[in-house]
Structure 1
Amino acid sequence: MKKIRVLHVVLSLGTGGLENGIINIINGSNKDEFHTDVICIREQGELHSRIDNSSTKVFYDANLSSGLINSIKHIRTIMLSEGYDILHTHGWATMLAGYLAVLSLTFSKSKPLIINGEHGTLYFESSQQILIQRFLFNRMRLNLSVSVALVHEVSRRFNVSINIFKAIINGVNVNKFVPSLEQRNSVREELNLKDENLLIGSVGRLVAVKNYPSLIRAFSIVLQKQPTARLALAGDGPEKKILEALIEELGLKNEVFLMGRREDVPSVMNAYDIFVLPSFREGLSNTILEAMSSALPVVVTNVGGSPEIVIENKTGHLFEVNNTTQLADILDSLMIDRKRLQTMSEDARKHVVKNYSLETMVNNYQQTYRDLLEHKKKGR
């Protein structure tokens, strides 16, 4: 049987939820039915080494200078040499380059279907950007989104029909992110924590959109009532010095740990007792699902697709952006009632295993690819 050939177009395979999701799709795909490659048009990124499918090619030419024209040429060359059925772009820059590359193959037998995936980072700073993206959304065979909320946000901001979108919720490897006492003890020993130290934590790049200063400020309030509480942030990024200065200003050097970029995220999750994500915006965060799969109650901002996966007061809590008092009250209430904390942890794990497994997500993508090609065959 001829394999369905898919080429993903990304800016890079650097650390991030979008990139992690693509790697999960590739690694989880049915190798007998699908062949999947990736082209990076800006930089290769460190996550490419996590691809465990030996047949997958990661195309990146360090000799090419960045820019739209070079990206179009690179994508076009790869499509002509490899022959793909589907070109799957991710975000507006890759969508533009991918669309123009496919357009250049109008009279070629190597012309693939083009679809786009939106993961939560939208660009609408100028009317020109909005018009270009509106045009591109309407030229895709299909637009995929990681949450229903994101579909509606894109539809509203860019004045496009929701009918050209389909939501496929992210999935998590529930066998990788699983409760482990051994992993928990290892990381907690590293941080010199005692049994009485409940650890609030987060995982993500230290960038402005994650809004970690609000979490640190909320934690300083919690500490007044819960003096044995601790906070850890796993990740690195341009906001690190700002966070270090805030920790110094609030006198929290002994209570807050900046752990840096970690390769052992499942172990880090196991060390936590409560997971918090205070982002200004999200599409649908993989780290929320990873935390829940690790049996952590999640406390996250009421943005993007988060309300679609968090059951209020059962698997976690939602709070409003920048409301440090509300966040502090939620954390304090969870730390006071350990029995409720344990029940919520168990419910979070059950919820993810039942509804958001990696297998379910990959199957949804694969079925979408099949349906698109079947429609093409029938001339739809």
Structure 2
Amino acid sequence: MAKFRVLRLITWLPPGGIEHKIAAVLPAMNRDLFEPHVCCIRERGPLADALEEAGVPVHVIPFRSRWDLRAHNRLRDLVVDLKADLVHSHMYRSNVPATVLKLRLPNLRVVGHYHNVDTWETRRQARLDAWMARRRDMNVAVSNAVRENVIHRLSLPPALIRTLHNGVDLERFHTVSAVERHAIRTQMGWTAGTRIILMAARLVPQKNHAFVLKQLPEIFRDAPRARCIFAGAGPELENLETLAGSLGIADRVTFLGRRDDIPRLLSAADIFMLPSLKEGFSNAILEAMACGLPVVASDVGGAREIIERGLNGYVIDVERESETVSVNAGQFIRHMKRLLTDDDFRLRLGAGAFARVRAFGLDSMVSDIENLYLDLLSRPSAPTQP
């Protein structure tokens, strides 16, 4: 039986959430059925080598602009040379050339992937996005919340978009023995009685680190042995360090920078938090739950699709006014205090998180993607919608 050739189209392959997911999913696909490829439309990025080592070819066709005719022609030639059956693009910048391919090669199946609740588009961009979405064979959203946002924002027929939740690699992210946990904490300088609050996220305004810092003095008053650890790099580092100093908590807050050992840190922490202003379906939440941590996260994107209040964590209310989102500080402080001061409750929620995330394993995500591809490839290419 001939294999179906699938080309994933993405801007580039930095060590980000979407890109890590691609690097995990493609090598795990059934190679008796599929031959996966990746094409970057800017540059390769650090994860390209790992993909190629796993047997997934990475192609690069730099686009100088959305309408770079030479690049569009090179991309079409690549698809023709590969005899690709399906192109799966990620985010707006890659969705444009993928949709152009559909117009030029009508028998090609094209899938567009939406990863976030987007509000950044201008009216002109939104109109183009809506026009393109109708011309693809299918669109995919990482959560029901993102799907509903796309349907509403683009007036997209519901039949043209499906939810395909992110999955977590349960072999990479998992709980560890008490002995190993103690060893990690010792190496990190975390004493046995210290309660570690961990947040692993890029240091950008969207992730809302400043909000966390402003609530910590009140949280620390009731939890004198708690410490807050931020893992991640980004342009906000200097501002956040200054804010921590002005709040008088610099000695209890640590900025680790970019880390390659996030599974190790998660397995040794006590609580995970992510009070973001915008998310699609957070990989970080899945990873923390897989390591047995209760999660306190803002009610954005698909957080409530995995976190069950009081069973495996808490979803904090947010207030929305026009384009502004604010997280309920009182709720955040209250839930953080209880998790830090009630050990039995914290451990019970952590066990609940570990059990809940079993339904969101990487294997399930790979299976869902393969079934989507097989469904689209088993029927005639969809005509473009008006």
Q: TM-score range with shorter-chain normalisation? A: over 0.9
**Cα separation, 1, equivalents of 2:238 and 2:23:** 30
Q: 1:350 aligns with which of 333, 355, 370?
A: 355
**Cα separation, 1, equivalents of 2:49 and 2:254:** 28
1:5-154 to 2 correspondence within 5 Å? Answer: 5-51=5-51, 54-61=54-61, 64=62, 66-68=64-66, 69=68, 70-105=70-105, 111-120=107-116, 122=118, 124-154=120-150
Alignment partner of 2:156: what SS?
coil
Given residue 160 of structure 2, which amino acid in structure 1 is its aligned partner?
I
Task: State the aligned residue count.
Answer: 373
**Cα separation, 2, equivalents of 1:53 and 1:103:** 33
Deviates more, 1:153-162 or 1:140-149: 153-162
**Cα separation, 1, equivalents of 2:283 and 2:275:** 14
1:299-314 to 2 correspondence within 5 Å? Answer: 299-314=296-311
* Partner in structure 1 of residue 198 of structure 2: 201
**Cα separation, 2, equivalents of 1:274 and 1:118:** 29
* Partner in structure 2 of residue 262 of structure 1: 259
8 Å Cα contact 1:91-1:121 kept in structure 2 = no
* Partner in structure 2 of residue 277 of structure 1: 274
8 Å Cα contact 2:279-2:302 kept in structure 1 = yes
* Partner in structure 1 of residue 329 of structure 2: 324
Alignment partner of 2:38: what SS?
strand
8 Å Cα contact 2:102-2:135 kept in structure 1 = no
**Cα separation, 1, equivalents of 2:195 and 2:120:** 41
**Cα separation, 1, equivalents of 2:180 and 2:135:** 48
8 Å Cα contact 2:27-2:55 kept in structure 1 = no
Given residue 26 of structure 1, which amino acid in structure 2 is its aligned partner?
L
Q: Is the counterpart of residue 191 in structure 1 residue 195 in structure 2?
A: no
Deviation at 1:377, TM superposition (A): 7.6
**Cα separation, 1, equivalents of 2:180 and 2:159:** 45
* Partner in structure 2 of residue 296 of structure 1: 293
* Partner in structure 2 of residue 373 of structure 1: 377
Given residue 27 of structure 1, which amino acid in structure 2 is its aligned partner?
P
Deviation at 1:101, TM superposition (A): 3.1
RMSD between aligned residues: 2.0
Deviation at 1:357, TM superposition (A): 0.9
Distance 1:215 1:379, change over 3 A: closer
8 Å Cα contact 2:40-2:59 kept in structure 1 = yes
Deviation at 1:122, TM superposition (A): 2.2
Distance 1:331 1:71, change over 3 A: farther
Q: Is the counterpart of residue 249 in structure 1 residue 246 in structure 2?
A: yes
Structure 1 gap segments, 5+ residues each: none
Alignment partner of 2:255: what SS?
strand
Deviation at 1:196, TM superposition (A): 1.0
8 Å Cα contact 1:20-1:47 kept in structure 2 = yes
8 Å Cα contact 2:8-2:37 kept in structure 1 = yes
Distance 1:183 1:156, change over 3 A: farther
8 Å Cα contact 2:27-2:56 kept in structure 1 = no
Deviation at 1:50, TM superposition (A): 3.3
8 Å Cα contact 1:90-1:118 kept in structure 2 = yes
Distance 1:71 1:252, change over 3 A: farther
Q: Is the counterpart of residue 169 in structure 1 residue 162 in structure 2?
A: no
Deviation at 1:91, TM superposition (A): 1.1
Spell out, residue by residue over 1:284-319, the C-alpha distance to the aligned partner (whole angstroms, 9 max, x if none): 001101100000001100111110011110011011
Distance 1:272 1:52, change over 3 A: farther
Given residue 77 of structure 2, which amino acid in structure 1 is its aligned partner?
T
Deviation at 1:158, TM superposition (A): 1.8
Distance 1:123 1:225, change over 3 A: closer
8 Å Cα contact 1:123-1:130 kept in structure 2 = no
Deviation at 1:128, TM superposition (A): 0.3
Structure 2 gap segments, 5+ residues each: 319-326
Distance 1:156 1:351, change over 3 A: same
**Cα separation, 2, equivalents of 1:196 and 1:4:** 54
Alignment partner of 1:175: what SS?
coil
**Cα separation, 2, equivalents of 1:249 and 1:190:** 29
Given residue 166 of structure 2, which amino acid in structure 1 is its aligned partner?
N
Deviation at 1:378, TM superposition (A): 11
**Cα separation, 1, equivalents of 2:290 and 2:249:** 30
Deviation at 1:216, TM superposition (A): 1.6
Given the two structures, how large is their TM-score scaled by the length of structure 1?
Answer: 0.93
**Cα separation, 1, equivalents of 2:75 and 2:17:** 23
Distance 1:53 1:17, change over 3 A: same
